[in-house]
């Protein structure tokens, strides 16, 4: 159901806190090793099963985890579908996502995790984007790495595979 005025105000405040936290985290960790290339293909794939990675301490505290799940249900319209302990992931079904029309009924008040996708993945060692996503991660030093690989006189198929695996394309 589309967000009402009160929910929009609450989500705007939550978004400000989310952005401040992200900026601080980026300052602490430095530049991500990848940049984004491409553009949104508007498939709605990232709305199929939005997921949140929980910090280690919060994952170990059941009350904290329940609070995260409750907040996302109440404010963001995200209903918990699964927990993946190995990756500390909470996977949701979004009640704002219209699966037939493949669009969000509250796009302008969508939460930070939706606005961030797939940029939030660029800090991972080898980012995996959702199949069909029009974006792709490219290593910051892609040009230099690609030139270095090509200098080695490797077979074209090996160069292609390395370029793909190392996100140089
Ligand atoms: S709030 Fe909107 S953008 Fe975010 S997952 Fe749901 S449908 Fe997608």
Q: pLDDT by residue (tens digit) across 149-166? A: 989 888 889 999 999 888
Ligand 1 lined by 92 (C-beta under 6 Å):
no
Distance between Cα 25 and ligand 1 center (Å): 23
Three-state DSSP class for 125?
Answer: coil
Distance between Cα 152 and ligand 1 center (Å): 45
Closest-CA residue, ligand 1 atom 4, reads 114
Q: pLDDT by residue (tens digit) across 42-58? A: 999 999 999 999 999 99
Distance between Cα 143 and ligand 1 center (Å): 35
Q: pLDDT by residue (tens digit) across 99-119? A: 999 999 999 999 999 999 998
Run of H or E residues at 138? strand 135-139
**To test ligand 1's pocket by mutation, which of 97, 108, 116 has the most ligand atoms within 8 angstroms of CB?**
97
**To test ligand 1's pocket by mutation, which of 8, 42, 50 has the most ligand atoms within 8 angstroms of CB?**
50
For the range 2-6, what are the long-range contacts, defined as Cβ-Cβ under 8 Å and sequence gap of 24 or more?
2/96, 2/105, 2/106, 3/77, 3/96, 3/106, 3/109
Q: pLDDT by residue (tens digit) across 2-19? A: 999 999 999 999 999 999
Q: What predicted TM-score, i.e. pTM, was given to this entire model?
A: 0.84
Structure tokens at 161: 């595979």
């Amino acid at each position: 159901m589309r967000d009402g005025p009160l929910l929009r105000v609450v989500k705007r405040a939550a978004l400000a806190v989310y952005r401040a936290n992200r900026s601080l985290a980026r300052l602490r960790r430095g530049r991500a090793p990848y940049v984004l290339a491409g553009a949104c293909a508007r498939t709605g794939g990232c709305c199929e099963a939005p997921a949140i990675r929980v910090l280690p301490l919060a994952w170990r505290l059941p009350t904290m985890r329940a609070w995260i799940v409750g907040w996302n249900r109440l404010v963001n319209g995200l209903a918990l579908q699964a927990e993946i302990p190995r990756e500390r992931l909470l996977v949701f079904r979004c009640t704002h996502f219209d699966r037939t029309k493949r669009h969000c009924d509250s796009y302008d008040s969508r939460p930070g995790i939706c606005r961030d996708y797939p940029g939030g993945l660029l800090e991972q060692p080898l980012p995996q984007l959702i199949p069909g996503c029009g974006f792709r991660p490219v290593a910051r030093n892609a040009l230099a790495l690609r030139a270095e690989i090509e200098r080695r006189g490797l077979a074209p198929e090996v160069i292609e595979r390395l370029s793909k695996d190392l996100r140089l394309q």
